[in-house]
Structure 1
């Protein structure tokens, strides 16, 4: 079945397909066919949607006449698409803007206890060590009579640091190697996610050393960047009173022999008291 160009454009417009024609002939391309547009399409159009039919071309019409007919066909397709679309007309006035409503926001007052005084927050370090800049990995080695908590460096061999921690526990009387438990902070990469606060870090670390009663606590490089007036209360509240609080981490001990000698001098009193 053969369709005229006007019928072809009509069905393509009904399917939502827009027809394009080249404005100028392409170099090396075959000449385009002379499209004929009959006075009325073969198919019957729905009532109310039939646009005005273009005039029939004369038998000896020129290329300029064909261009005029193509322009009329384009207007016809545009009229069909405008009738079929549900969008508002360009001439329709815009809807009125909703009235502005002023909303008053009352400032929140701090919670008060039974005596009427404002509640006091927990004793934690200030914003010098905030949620966003606290990046730490800690290892916990729990032996029979000793717990070792040390900072683990991501730049050094994890196996080397584990071996050094077990050697320290063996010197303290541990009979066999201990498998470490690691705490990597923050838990979530996005600092705005709930659970990334310093209080959450303290609670998680305290829960990991909860069974430390009756064991000596040795700390190696546990948050040495905190000021002493904030670090000591935080250690007592979170981990308890340490037997040895050494500021260098396991990686620093492995790299600098002088740090090993200093740690050994700090561990000697514990060995004498155990003996």
Structure 2
């Protein structure tokens, strides 16, 4: 499948077919896309509902951190604008929360630079190793440093706990600049999100979010006999390569993206039909500078 875009609507059409006439384009809105995603989730046997109202946001709306689209006045998808969707569901065997940001046309150099800074912060937190007793207040800076280098930042915390078929925002731990993040150290088996972002008022918003599990880390040394911790990600969905400025990624960042995408293919392949697998294969092809 390939994405085809009209001036006022978007639709999917098999590769090799002629582009449909503009009048026949199926218009997609923030709400209709959100409803479609919920419909996909609802086909799963253990699905019991959304874990929070989906944030489905186009262009300037994506700059509103907790935006909620309304059917009567929501925006249509626009090939010239960033689209951000933050969604999750309740299943009897767990609770999910994921955010991805995509662009259906040609992103600007500025949009790519901002997305790449967010991605670098996302990776920096994901790959962190830290001693037992470390709290989320100490780790929050890792996700912000790539943005700070360009004088950018975001006004929300970087991570929150998630219950198992419980609250999607569940404490007492969190990763944040807020003082309460100092209260509880991270411990093995805790779940926490990794979700840095950047929001440019009136223009666009970017956020990338995975769910992580805190686990014991194997380190060469064990200074202070404290024991060390790291993260294991359990969210598997591609990042849009089109939005990456590869020149701004370090070799270890590129290795991380390629390793993550290879694992996405391995995990998701058994659940996909031929056309879906073709899309995933293309979306996860290795990136190189």
Q: TM-score, normalised by structure 2?
A: 0.18
Q: TM-score, normalised by structure 1?
A: 0.19
Query: Rg: which structure is higher?
Result: 1
**Relative contact order (alpha carbons < 8 A, sep ≥ 6): 1 or 2 greater?**
2
